[in-house]
A = this chain, B = another copy of it.
Amino acid sequence: MAATSGTAVPGDRLSALRLDGLEALLRPRGIAVLGASSDISKIGGRPLRFLKESGFSGGVYPVNPKYDQVQGLRSFPSLDEVDGVVDLALIAVPQEGVMAAVESCAAKGVKVATIFSANFAEADAAGAALQKRITDFAAEHGLRILGPNCIGSSNRGTGATGTFAAAAGAARPAFNWDKVAFVSQSGAIAAHCVFAAFERGLDFDPWISTGNEGDIEFADVLAQLALDDEVKVIAAYLEGCRNGEKLREALAIAKARSKPVVLLKAGRSEVGARAAASHTASLVGSEQVFDALFRQYNVCRVETVAELIDLSYAFSLGNPPTGKRIGLLTGSGGVGIIMADAAEAAGLEVPPLSPAAQRSLKELWPPSGVGNPIDTTAQVMNDPRLLTAFLETVLEDDFDLVLVFLTYMGTLQPWADNIVSALREARAGHPDAVIALSLLAAPDILRQLEGLGMPAFVDPAIGLRTLARVAEITAGFADRREEIAAPATVAPPSGHGPITEVEAKRLLGLAGIAVVEERVVPSAADASAAATELGFPVAMKIVSPQILHKTEVGGVRLGVRTAEEAAAAFDGIVASASAAMPDATIEGVLIAPMIEDGIETILGVQNDPVFGPVVMFGLGGVFVEVLEDVTYRLAPFGPETAAEMVREIKGFPLLDGARGGEPADLLALGDALSALSVFAAEHRDSIESIDINPLLVRPRGRGAIAVDALIVRKE
């Protein structure tokens, strides 16, 4: 049993996670059922039936004052009369009796109470108020609550099936691989996925459904499972998150422990762009933030239940690939092509077999195809020794993983037994090789093959997609932890709303972002002088705290080329801005040299209510506005994460010298992005949004310069 209690969370400050009681939820010494019933179709009856059959070695205590016995077990009139230790109580009484039941749990010293009962926060305001009274009471008494309105939890490994869901009583598949735990915000999805995984030979165990999350949250359970040494893979279903910091911490623990998290996040379609004032805000929606979070913490996000199961299965079974070079072994040339297509589309590499290996296979069976895909031809159906010989040659070559396609050979004898023998022989000589299979096979044949550490997929393309994700996430764990710069001691002026462009750029400059050299001048004569000093051409812009959209009031002139033009431009700008907004305070006109060798990029920050500051990056012009070609990360982060962001956008080739241009200064761009993220994280309590538009990224070695910037303080 893993020692996982307490809050052993990495990080330099107090964790928001609460893990106390969670070990007791999964591995209780005794379980009481409050509202125990003899009717095994009732939520007070089903858990008892499951517990009787589950092999649970602790005490099981029905509590119901109406009976002496329930399902053949002694029933207690009240919890305080139970004559054994109760770590976990299952509360199956009607809503109006829950408060009393929780009080009795606290009195008995129960560690965690699972409330099946409904009609709480999910129903109405009265239910929400009652839920709050119950959870507040529990918190005061050191009692943890799972639910209410949940189907509970199940740990069939220990027999602690604290649930009324049929999944806890169903036949389990033969289980010969690593433990996959499952945490779900929806009980129905937990139960459905457990059954759906059975059909794949996979057992999600333990599983926990968090229901209304009155106390124990998804993130708490995730962290607990990440810290549990018996759990190798975490499958998860998430709908929403009230506390971003907790979720971040839980994911950080899983990442630090190299534990794969396969996560289905629902709600992509409902969340659109949030209504907000700044340009950046129109592009940040929670879904992008979740995506950024998951990318940052190496989470394997999936879109379907089928993928949740396939990925969990693949992570749990066999050796993880340490690279992307795949050998494709097939008896069908056609399927070889399909596999090559799918491997390439999934981001795997399909390099040719070494010439020596090619020669040796050609000698073995001249009609074979020996490049990669490697095609034994259908002769493998007549001669199973060919499979062993080919596979061993491929395993000794330079691949990170191998996929073997065996068509329907697992469904018919003697083929099925032949391939089991051939693969067993190949495995014996290569215990560490990463071998996956694609075939149709009878369940008992599949279980034998899985027992050899070879995950099997009916569809080769789905197998390849799955393996590519496994390789990608495995590689993600190998990345070293990046250094994040210490924040500069610079703070925005106190107050609310937007600050001036000049002040915004001054702050960003102090935060480590290069800003354009510029002057604010009070008169036409000063404008001529400043422009001459800065060097032509210059850009000129109105400076006024009330004027946010300068172009619209005629407050901008670009490409000013002489001292006379500069003087005229000053007068023109002030006149049109004053005409358009007579009440605006005009502080002067800003003059800056025009940078003509930069690529326009946009950097933004939006302070997400759940996750705090989120940094956006995109290219200027059509890329952001038409193509929405942007990427996000949660602040703060270092230059490596920034470099990832820059490479993620579709327009990246433009920064990398496409169209005959010079490659841009990517180092300077990355430094600017990470400096912005550190600044935003430091001032998360005072800054609502930041918009650097544009940051001009000049050719390599010449830097990246913020030309315009807007900072809006929190209201």
Contact = CB atoms under 8 A, between A and B. Distances in A.
Interface stretch (A134-142, A189-197, A517-525, A665-673): A189-197
A491 interface: no
Interface in A284-324: 303-306
A589 to B, nearest CB: 25
A359 interface: no
A93 interface: no
Contact of A653 (B186, B195, B626): B626
A550 B189 CA distance: 64
A166 B458 contact: no
A345 B269 contact: yes
Interface stretch (A334-342, A386-394, A536-544): A334-342
A123 B377 CA distance: 13
A622 B654 contact: yes
Contacts of A335: 186, 188-189, 192
A303 B196 contact: no
Interface stretch (A247-255, A405-413, A606-614): A405-413
Contacts of A342: 303-304
Interface in A21-80: none
Contacts of A239: 334, 337
A344 B654 CA distance: 32
B188 A407 contact: yes
- Number of identical protomers: 2
A288 to B, nearest CB: 15
A462 interface: yes
A463 to B, nearest CB: 10
Contact of A195 (B166, B188, B411): B411
Contacts of A184: 334
A171 to B, nearest CB: 10
Given A199-B440, A440-B195, A186 B333 contact: yes
A266 interface: yes
Contact of A306 (B185, B458, B625): B458
A187 to B, nearest CB: 8
A188 B331 contact: yes
A337 B196 contact: no
A275 interface: no
Interface string A400-422: 00000001100110000000000
Interface in A110-135: 123
A264 interface: yes
A343 B305 CA distance: 14
B408 A192 contact: yes
Contact of A332 (B188, B195, B458, B651): B188
A268 interface: yes
Contacts of A267: 337, 341
A263 to B, nearest CB: 13
Interface in A597-637: 622-623, 625-627
A659 interface: yes
Interface string A198-237: 0100000000000000000000000000000000000001
B408 A338 contact: no
Given A304-B461, A332-B189, A407 B195 contact: yes
A543 to B, nearest CB: 25
A266 B337 contact: yes
B188 A334 contact: yes
A663 to B, nearest CB: 14
A378 interface: yes
Contacts of A626: 650-651, 653-654, 658-659
A90 B630 CA distance: 60
A627 B626 CA distance: 13
A266 B627 contact: no
A533 interface: no
A659 B625 contact: yes
A266 B408 CA distance: 20
Given A303-B342, A622-B623, A622-B651, 18 more contacts: A185-B334, A186-B332, A186-B335, A188-B333, A189-B332, A191-B408, A192-B332, A192-B408, A196-B408, A196-B440, A196-B458, A196-B459, A266-B338, A270-B341, A303-B341, A304-B342, A306-B461, A627-B627
17 contacts: A184-B334, A188-B407, A189-B335, A192-B332, A192-B335, A192-B408, A195-B440, A239-B334, A266-B341, A268-B345, A269-B345, A270-B337, A270-B341, A306-B459, A625-B658, A626-B651, A627-B650
Q: Sort A-B residue pairs by CB-CB distance and give the 7 closest, nearest first.
A: A186-B334, A188-B332, A195-B408, A304-B461, A269-B344, A266-B337, A306-B459
Interface of A: 123, 166, 170, 184-186, 188-189, 191-192, 195-196, 199, 237, 239, 264, 266-270, 303-306, 331-335, 337-338, 340-345, 350, 367, 378, 407-408, 411-412, 440, 458-462, 622-623, 625-627, 650-651, 653-654, 658-659
